[in-house]
């Protein structure tokens, strides 16, 4: 099943940091030789970039020290491309700072897996609970939601409404005692065949004894296999302080970071793992309920340094395309065929992958070129309108589209004859490209060097 509108962790929260780090490392990339002075200058700029990103000071000190120690080492000095080697070191250390490998949830071998969400009020816990349930359902599990936030009057109603939207059952009958609500909800989920139970708990405007005591009683009653701390990335360094305060009272296993698509400076994501020792497991990247994904430190480091993210791009494509749809389109492309029906199918797949600029930013080398570029999503809508204004015969046999047909298509799509003509020419070029690829020839692409001879 294709995941409609699915999004992947965006580097939007890191945009300013990415610009500064890429600038700081830019002079090193092309250098044939490196000395300690050049590395020290670059590290000063890296340090300033991290400070402006609201990264924890101790984390910055450790990060810069590790990079500098490795960057002036014998291996780098003797490397054929020492500048690129330093960039690789920065990538490795960024990845390590954010947790190394991605960290997943633990699942019980028998009986339901219980996941307890904790956090301050306003961090997005209730919505995150629904997002997590939807993600688990798409991964083949049978989740259930339990409303144990009895402090906020609308919390139960909100969770029930979200549950209806994602077709996940919600327990919200007990409205007096949060511990009883969690216990009864777990028993109810077992009766209804749920194998994963996500429990939403109450938050406060600040960490206090009553909040911690309540969380402790709920955890003791339902014995969760996973305790996730929900942190708002928009709060920056304060998110790290909240994590430390919770850690002093509640043993959480990992972090679910919300609002990673916002205007925050990235300090929380870069600091919280190093300070607490607990990994970021999941990241929420938008308001839509399908915008929650596993957090991949190595992929995020690549995107921060402008290296793209091929693995996420592949996953986005796989999620956007039905298996039979993919096989049919691949067969036709290998045969060198590319009708407007194929064009329309490809367009719809692209739309399902998310905003175009976000998709293109995953392509290695394109991130820098996209900076400041306004990708007009409406242009794609005009393309769809033009194709839908064609008859089935015209879509299958574009060569029959003459001057009068172009005028009719333009009128029907609310575009101009020139725009229709440009689309017809684009399809021809795409068909030529597909024929070359189908014959095993890799065409020369603009901006890319051809094969060495």
CB 163 within 8 A of CB 126: no
CB 197 within 8 A of CB 143: yes
What are the extents of the domains in the chain? 12-97, 113-304, 310-438
Tokens 């005591």 locate to 213
Cβ neighbours around 41 below 10 Å, total = 13
**Would you state the pLDDT for residue 5?**
37
In this predicted model, what pLDDT tens digit does every residue of 18-31 receive, in sequence order?
A: 777 877 777 776 66
Model confidence at 353: pLDDT above 50: yes
Q: Looking at the DSSP assignment, which residues form a beta bridge with residue 115?
A: 198, 226
In this predicted model, what pLDDT tens digit does every residue of 407-426 receive, in sequence order?
A: 999 999 999 999 999 888 87
**Would you state the pLDDT for residue 433?**
60
CATH number of 113-304: 3.40.50.300
- Nearest alpha-carbon partner for 2 in 292, 323, 359: 323
Model confidence at 446: pLDDT above 70: no
- Nearest alpha-carbon partner for 144 in 123, 166, 124, 122: 166
Average pLDDT over residues 344-373: 56
Q: Is 372 exposed, middle or buried (0-12, 13-18, 19+ CB in 10 A)?
A: exposed
**Would you state the pLDDT for residue 1?**
35
Taking the C-alpha atoms of residue 151 and residue 333, their distance in angstroms, rounded to an integer, is: 57
Cβ neighbours around 391 below 10 Å, total = 13
Model confidence at 201: pLDDT above 50: yes
Taking the C-alpha atoms of residue 250 and residue 234, their distance in angstroms, rounded to an integer, is: 23
Average pLDDT over residues 63-85: 75
pLDDT confidence tier of residue 346, bands split at 50, 70 and 90: low
Taking the C-alpha atoms of residue 387 and residue 385, their distance in angstroms, rounded to an integer, is: 6
Q: Looking at the DSSP assignment, which residues form a beta bridge with residue 199?
A: 116, 146
Taking the C-alpha atoms of residue 348 and residue 245, their distance in angstroms, rounded to an integer, is: 46
**Would you state the pLDDT for residue 402?**
93
Domain 310-438 has CATH 1.20.1250.20: no
Max mean pLDDT among 70-74, 86-90, 402-406, 421-425 falls in 402-406
Q: What angle do CA 225, 94, 42 make, to 5 degrees?
A: 165
Model confidence at 183: pLDDT above 80: yes
**Would you state the pLDDT for residue 91?**
85
Average pLDDT over residues 191-203: 93
Flag the least confident range among 235-249, 253-267, 338-352: 338-352
**Would you state the pLDDT for residue 342?**
75
The sign of the dihedral angle between the CA atoms of 315, 316, 319, 323 is negative
Q: pTM value?
A: 0.67
Which tops the pLDDT comparison, 430 or 148? 148
CB 206 within 8 A of CB 154: no
**Would you state the pLDDT for residue 324?**
54
Taking the C-alpha atoms of residue 147 and residue 202, their distance in angstroms, rounded to an integer, is: 9
**Would you state the pLDDT for residue 441?**
46
**Would you state the pLDDT for residue 25?**
78
**Would you state the pLDDT for residue 381?**
77
In this predicted model, what pLDDT tens digit does every residue of 124-177 receive, in sequence order?
A: 899 999 999 999 999 999 999 999 999 887 899 999 999 999 999 999 998 889
Model confidence at 11: pLDDT above 80: no
**Would you state the pLDDT for residue 343?**
73
Percent with pLDDT over 70 in the chain: 72
User: End-to-end distance of the chain based on CA atoms, in angstroms?
Assistant: 44
Taking the C-alpha atoms of residue 14 and residue 303, their distance in angstroms, rounded to an integer, is: 9
- Nearest alpha-carbon partner for 233 in 203, 199, 270: 270
Tokens representing residue 403 in the block = 């001057």
Model confidence at 447: pLDDT above 80: no
Taking the C-alpha atoms of residue 449 and residue 223, their distance in angstroms, rounded to an integer, is: 58
**Would you state the pLDDT for residue 8?**
38
Model confidence at 251: pLDDT above 80: yes
Tell me the pLDDT of the chain averaged across its residues. 78
Which tops the pLDDT comparison, 143 or 330? 143
pLDDT confidence tier of residue 444, bands split at 50, 70 and 90: very low
CATH number of 12-97: 1.20.120.140
Tokens representing residue 97 in the block = 């700072």
Flag the least confident range among 218-232, 291-305, 348-362: 348-362
**Would you state the pLDDT for residue 137?**
94
Taking the C-alpha atoms of residue 158 and residue 385, their distance in angstroms, rounded to an integer, is: 37
């Amino acid at each position: 099943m294709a995941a409609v509108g699915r999004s992947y962790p965006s580097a939007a929260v890191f945009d300013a940091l990415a610009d500064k780090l890429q600038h700081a490392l830019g002079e090193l990339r092309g250098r044939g030789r490196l000395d300690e002075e050049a590395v020290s200058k670059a590290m000063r700029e890296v340090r300033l970039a991290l400070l402006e990103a609201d990264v924890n000071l101790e984390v910055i000190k450790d990060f810069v020290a590790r990079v500098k120690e490795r960057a002036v080492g014998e291996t780098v000095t003797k490397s054929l491309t020492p500048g690129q080697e330093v960039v690789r070191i920065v990538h490795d250390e960024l990845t390590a700072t954010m947790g190394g490998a991605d960290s997943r949830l633990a699942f019980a071998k028998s009986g339901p897996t219980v996941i307890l969400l904790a956090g301050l009020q306003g961090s997005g816990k209730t919505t995150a609970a629904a997002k997590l349930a939807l993600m688990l359902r798409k991964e083949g599990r049978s989740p259930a939601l339990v409303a144990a936030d009895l402090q906020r009057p609308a919390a139960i109603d909100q969770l029930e409404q979200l549950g209806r939207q994602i077709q996940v059952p919600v327990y919200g009958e007990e409205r007096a005692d949060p511990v009883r609500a969690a216990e009864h909800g777990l028993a109810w989920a077992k009766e209804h065949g749920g194998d994963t139970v996500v429990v939403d708990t109450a938050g406060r405007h600040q960490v206090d004894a009553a909040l911690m005591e309540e969380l402790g009683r709920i955890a003791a009653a339902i014995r969760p296999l996973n305790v996730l701390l929900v942190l708002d990335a928009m709060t920056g360094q304060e998110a790290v302080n909240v994590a430390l305060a919770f850690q002093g009272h509640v043993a959480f296993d990992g972090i679910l970071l919300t609002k990673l698509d916002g205007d925050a400076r990235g300090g929380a994501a870069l600091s919280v793992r190093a300070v607490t020792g607990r990994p970021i497991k999941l990241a929420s990247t938008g308001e839509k309920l399908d915008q929650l994904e596993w957090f991949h430190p190595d992929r995020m480091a690549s995107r921060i340094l402008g290296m793209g993210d091929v693995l996420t791009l592949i996953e986005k494509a796989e999620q956007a395309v039905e298996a039979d749809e993919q096989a049919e389109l691949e067969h036709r492309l290998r045969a060198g065929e590319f009708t407007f029906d194929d064009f329309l199918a490809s367009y719809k797949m692209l739309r399902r992958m998310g905003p175009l600029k976000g998709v293109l930013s995953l392509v290695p080398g394109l991130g820098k070129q996209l900076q400041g570029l306004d990708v007009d999503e409406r242009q794609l809508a005009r393309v769809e309108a033009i194709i839908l204004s064609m008859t089935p015969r015209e879509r299958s046999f574009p060569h029959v589209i003459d001057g009068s047909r172009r005028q009719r298509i333009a009128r029907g799509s609310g575009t101009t004859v020139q725009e229709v003509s440009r689309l017809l020419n684009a399809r021809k070029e795409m068909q030529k490209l597909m024929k070359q690829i189908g014959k095993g020839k890799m065409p020369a692409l603009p901006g890319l060097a051809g094969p060495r001879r």
